[in-house]
Amino acid sequence: MAELEIIGPAHDAGVRICRMACIEKGILYRFREIDYGSLQALKENMFGSLPALRHGKVRLFEIRGITHYIDHRFNGRALVPADPIRSAEVEQWIGVIHSRLGKLMGAQSAAAAVQCSDTQSCLKVLNECIGSRTWLVGRGFTLADMWLLPAVHNFCMHTGHTHLLRDLPAIGIWYDKHKSRKSWQSLCGGESPNTEGTNN
């Protein structure tokens, strides 16, 4: 079988989500690092969008398309529940994170996003929704959690872990439970948010 390849900048949140999906699914894959706007990126697809995926003759871009392919093409534990309601809830949360917390996903835009009132309002609502949950949806770690993890991580990197636990305690507890996952640690284990942060 052809080797699956994930392509893009190592620090990119979307690349991390796709790589986490491979690890959580138990798939062997190869990572090839290229930069945004490079000639290599334009060779991957007509938009130069990253992350990108190659698997034999298959060429995909955009996080949702890539992770959908990974989840449905390979054996291993499901990253989205089979139950139609739970599956819809995963899509619902991915949509919220993408549309309302998208700027937190970017390495360059996260610093400004943490100060944005829309971001703060969304996080407060999300904090209430998470409550005492271990996972965003159902009884397991899903793609919804994989989308939220880099957004919360970037928030912590700019505001500090203490700030997160103080102002968004439910999200803070959720983050503390999942930041030690093998799939996340293998990608971001060396990135530790400051105890107090830089923008308190």
What separation in angstroms does the CA of 128 have from each of 85, 121, 131, 174?
Answer: 21, 11, 5, 12
Provide block-wise average pLDDT over 10 residues at a time, the chain (200 residues).
Answer: 91 96 97 93 91 96 97 97 98 96 85 88 95 96 97 89 88 95 90 51
How far apart are the C-alpha atoms of 68 and 173, rounded to whole Å? 28
Could you count the other beta carbons within 10 Å of the beta carbon of residue 175?
21
Are 56 and 50 in contact by the 8 Å Cβ rule? The answer is no
pLDDT of residue 63: 97
| Structural domains of the chain in order of their starting residue, each with its CATH number | 4-73 (3.40.30.10), 84-188 (1.20.1050.130)
pLDDT of residue 193: 64
